[in-house]
Chain A
Amino acid sequence: MSTYLIKDAKVLGGDAQDVLIRDGLIAGIGAGLTAEDATVVDAAGQILLPGLVDLHTHLREPGREDAETVATGANAAALGGFTAVHAMANTDPVADTAGTVEQVWRLGQESGRCDVHPVGAVTVGLEGKRLAELGAMADSAARVRVFSDDGKCVDDAVIMRRALEYVKAFDGVVAQHAQEPRLTEGAQMNEGTVSGELGLRGWPAVAEESIIARDVLLTAHVGSRLHVCHVSTAGSVEILRWAKSKGWNVTAEVTPHHLLLTDELVRSYDPVYKVNPPLRTAADVTALREALADGTIDAVATDHAPHPSEDKDCEWAVAAMGMLGLETALSIVQETMVDTGLLDWAGVADRMSTRPADIGRLDGHGRPIAVGEPANLVLVDPGARRTVEPSELASRSRNTPYAGLVLPGRVVATFLRGEPTVIDGKLA
């Protein structure tokens, strides 16, 4: 195995130190380290973080390999600084059996760029009617611990209760896509002043908040673990804050795009901004940033949702929902949280690595940067600026809302178990 010596890196944004990587582990940390057999990486001015962990990625394989494959998604993840991602279950076929989750897991292993942890569906076919074989998926080679019908809400309270109860047997977590279906029938964007003016059917905040309120109560009732996907409203934040104050085992994530973009952008009718949950108001964005800073929201998750151009280069009503996220997530978090003073780099490491790894019960990721720990690491140049050029993305799709924008920060290198998956900003 290789040996690398990272020189003068600011560990978690702190003082510059050298970090020696040998045999897949962190072998030394300190000033003035030397190692004759090591490849030296000059990291002056750069920040070293634990490899990022995404709780919410859509890799589209099996079924929509024209949009993304596990391999192309893993490449995008590595370039974004991720060493582990959770692949959502809404593939075709749905990842609701041990066989399908093992297939996705093995494809991730073969990619070599990133650990891919499949999310298992909560219900068969995401239909919300019968529990999928959660135990079989947990016992499979993929060792599934996160279960979600993401894309759809588990809206039947009894099914949700049973799922929360059942996953306790293997320390699983139910990740809920909180969307009351009747309140959001035909919904196209955030319900508010802009939807009223544009004549687009609204997706009201209360449709998210009412499900979260119900689910935190169910979680408390059965004593299980709930994770709330892509929180998007100020009201949801208040409910989570209350649930956490009660000591209930509830966690939540926010996407980078909900930390930056607002529903005002929909005035362009450009489907690149069509996403579920929808872009909300500036007041919601402020509340989400504050909640991520104070820990009410535990993690940043990309909700990376690749779509081919024919599904986006069309009129708003028929366009697919979702946007890319893996390759821009860290830059958006830097812009919205670090450069605004809301979070330091240690906080970024917590929200984008430690906490998501803990929620997903991953052993080798989200670990401290310390001797003996797995060398899953990312080097970031916070002073760099880059213009997002869709044609240069590693994802198979191009549906990024940041095309042409200049974003702060650049992932210089990513290490997966001591081997670089990205070096000098390019795939190794």
Chain B
Amino acid sequence: MKRHLISAADLTRDDAILILDTAEELAHIAERPIKKLPTLRGRTVVNLFFEDSTRTRISFEAAAKRLSADVINFSAKGSSVSKGESLKDTALTLQAMGADAVVIRHHASGAPHRLAGSGWLRGSVVNAGDGTHEHPTQALLDAFTMRRRLAGGRGDLEGRRITLVGDVLHSRVARSNVLLLATLGAEVTLVAPPTLLPIGVETWPCTVSYDLDAPLPKSDAVMMLRVQRERMNAAFFPTEREYSRRYGLDLRRMAMLPEHAIVMHPGPMNRGMEIAAEVADSTRSTIVEQVTNGVSVRMAVLYLLLGGNEPALSAPSTTGTEEIAK
């Protein structure tokens, strides 16, 4: 694997499978009374969050702590950043403090790429969501969830049909999912009004539809994307009511899915808007599972980026982390 995880496109099929397999191993840690491994003991992971995201930050924090890493949470609010410090100077500070990995969430697309490629830091950079660009660990946890539900937790997702619905234009989750799912062999369909699809989407490794009803009967999984209500003023669609009717997942539409199909959402949800409450709470919904799986996947990513080259759970604690994390 590369030293950084910036984009789902960074991952080959083998890389992705390795992460998912490692996450599968590490998921068992959550079932133990003491949910901790010594694997990253002595390593420092910094959660560098320029944008609010309690869910993702806690997930990364839990993942790092379960591997015994030291975790520093750095929030831009109330920090030197709010006093005008640049990303470069913040990075140089973290470098001086010996960060082995920096997990960055930023409102600007490309900020993690800049951090990783600028020479400001020597440690690994993990993209925890950048602007409207990518969110690769979200895609990994989504793939992990699909694999568990649809493929018995093994292999890739060859031939699985996945439908992503909603605001693709502004969704970093959609971009990462399309790239990763295509790498894993799935057939992806994006469904959105034309105003919420990026220019050039026809070059992406997926098909596109403006009609939600058409792909549903053949979908193994349907993932609803959050509608950002603040975008209503920009005339992307006429009314919430119309959007909900044309692109919302309600009980009628859920009934069109094959019996085995699952319903996903990266959260936070607008209940009654893109997803009906009954659907979100149904047994087909994997929304809570996705959160749980996020910790396992992020453990795997941190473990592998920080040098793990053996099966995660076979690393005997007596040998010390230094030999494992070369």
CB-CB under 8 A from B114, the residues of chain A are 269-270, 314-316
Ordered by A's residue number, 18 sampled pairs between the chains whose C-beta atoms are within 8 Å are: A191-B199, A197-B175, A197-B204, A198-B109, A199-B109, A199-B110, A199-B130, A199-B133, A200-B110, A200-B131, A200-B132, A200-B133, A202-B199, A268-B113, A270-B114, A310-B86, A314-B114, A315-B108
- A314-B86, A314-B88, A317-B110 are known contacts. Are A199 and B134 too (CB-CB below 8 A)? yes
Q: Name the contact of B109 in the complex, choosing from A204, A268, A313, A316 (C-beta under 8 A).
A: A316
Interface size class of A (residues with CB under 8 A): 20 to 34
B251 interface residue (CB < 8 Å to A): no
Q: How far is the CA of A272 from the CA of B159 in the complex (A)?
A: 42
Q: Does B110 contact A198, Cβ atoms closer than 8 Å?
A: yes
- A197-B175, A310-B86 are known contacts. Are A316 and B200 too (CB-CB below 8 A)? no
Q: Does B108 contact A313, Cβ atoms closer than 8 Å?
A: no
CB-CB under 8 A from B134, the residues of chain A are 199
CB-CB under 8 A from B172, the residues of chain A are 199
**Binary contact track B82-120/A, C-beta < 8 Å → 1, others 0:** 000011100000000000000000111111011001100
CB-CB under 8 A from A191, the residues of chain B are 199
- A199-B131, A268-B117, A310-B86 are known contacts. Are A318 and B108 too (CB-CB below 8 A)? yes
Q: How far is the CA of A316 from the CA of B132 in the complex (A)?
A: 13
Q: Does B107 contact A317, Cβ atoms closer than 8 Å?
A: yes
Interface residues of A in 299-323 (CB under 8 A from B): 310, 313-318
Q: Does A269 contact B175, Cβ atoms closer than 8 Å?
A: no
Q: Does A200 contact B199, Cβ atoms closer than 8 Å?
A: no
Q: From A194, which residue of chain B is reached at the shortest CB distance?
A: B200
Q: From B9, which residue of chain A is reached at the shortest CB distance?
A: A197
**Binary contact track B166-201/A, C-beta < 8 Å → 1, others 0:** 000000100100000000000000000000001111
Q: From B132, which residue of chain A is reached at the shortest CB distance?
A: A199
B318 interface residue (CB < 8 Å to A): no
Q: Does A315 contact B198, Cβ atoms closer than 8 Å?
A: no
Q: How far is the CA of A315 from the CA of B104 in the complex (A)?
A: 13
Q: Name the contact of A196 in the complex, choosing from B87, B111, B118, B200 (C-beta under 8 A).
A: B200
Q: How far is the CA of A202 from the CA of B200 in the complex (A)?
A: 11
CB-CB under 8 A from A181, the residues of chain B are none
Residues of A within 8 A of B (CB): 188, 191-202, 204, 268-270, 310, 313-318
**Binary contact track B190-220/A, C-beta < 8 Å → 1, others 0:** 0000000011110110000000000000000
**Binary contact track B54-98/A, C-beta < 8 Å → 1, others 0:** 000000000000000000000000000000001110000000000
Query: Least Cβ distance of A313 to chain B in Å?
Result: 6
Q: Does B87 contact A314, Cβ atoms closer than 8 Å?
A: yes
Query: Least Cβ distance of B204 to chain A in Å?
Result: 8
Q: How far is the CA of A199 from the CA of B109 in the complex (A)?
A: 6
**Which of A200, A204, A317, A318 has the most chain B CB atoms closer than 10 A to its own CB?**
A317
Residues of B within 8 A of A (CB): 86-88, 106-111, 113-114, 117-118, 130-134, 172, 175, 198-201, 203-204
CB-CB under 8 A from A269, the residues of chain B are 109-110, 113-114, 117
Q: How far is the CA of A269 from the CA of B131 in the complex (A)?
A: 13
CB-CB under 8 A from B111, the residues of chain A are 315-317
Q: Does B199 contact A315, Cβ atoms closer than 8 Å?
A: no
CB-CB under 8 A from A196, the residues of chain B are 198-201, 204
Query: Least Cβ distance of B258 to chain A in Å?
Result: 31
CB-CB under 8 A from A270, the residues of chain B are 114, 117
Query: Least Cβ distance of B164 to chain A in Å?
Result: 15
Which 7 A-B residue pairs are closest in the complex by CB-CB distance? A193-B200, A199-B133, A196-B198, A317-B108, A269-B110, A199-B132, A196-B200
Query: Least Cβ distance of B5 to chain A in Å?
Result: 16
CB-CB under 8 A from A310, the residues of chain B are 86
CB-CB under 8 A from B109, the residues of chain A are 188, 198-200, 269, 316-317
Q: Does A195 contact B113, Cβ atoms closer than 8 Å?
A: no
Q: Does A315 contact B117, Cβ atoms closer than 8 Å?
A: no
Q: How far is the CA of A198 from the CA of B127 in the complex (A)?
A: 14
Q: Name the contact of B203 in the complex, choosing from A188, A193, A195 (C-beta under 8 A).
A: A193
CB-CB under 8 A from B130, the residues of chain A are 199
CB-CB under 8 A from A201, the residues of chain B are 132
Q: How far is the CA of A310 from the CA of B113 in the complex (A)?
A: 18
Query: Least Cβ distance of A229 to chain B in Å?
Result: 25
Q: From A199, which residue of chain B is reached at the shortest CB distance?
A: B133
Q: From B118, which residue of chain A is reached at the shortest CB distance?
A: A313
Q: From A317, which residue of chain B is reached at the shortest CB distance?
A: B108
CB-CB under 8 A from A316, the residues of chain B are 108-111, 114
Query: Least Cβ distance of A192 to chain B in Å?
Result: 6
Query: Least Cβ distance of A112 to chain B in Å?
Result: 37
Q: From A311, which residue of chain B is reached at the shortest CB distance?
A: B86
Q: Does A192 contact B200, Cβ atoms closer than 8 Å?
A: yes
CB-CB under 8 A from B204, the residues of chain A are 196-197
Q: How far is the CA of A200 from the CA of B199 in the complex (A)?
A: 11
CB-CB under 8 A from B132, the residues of chain A are 199-201
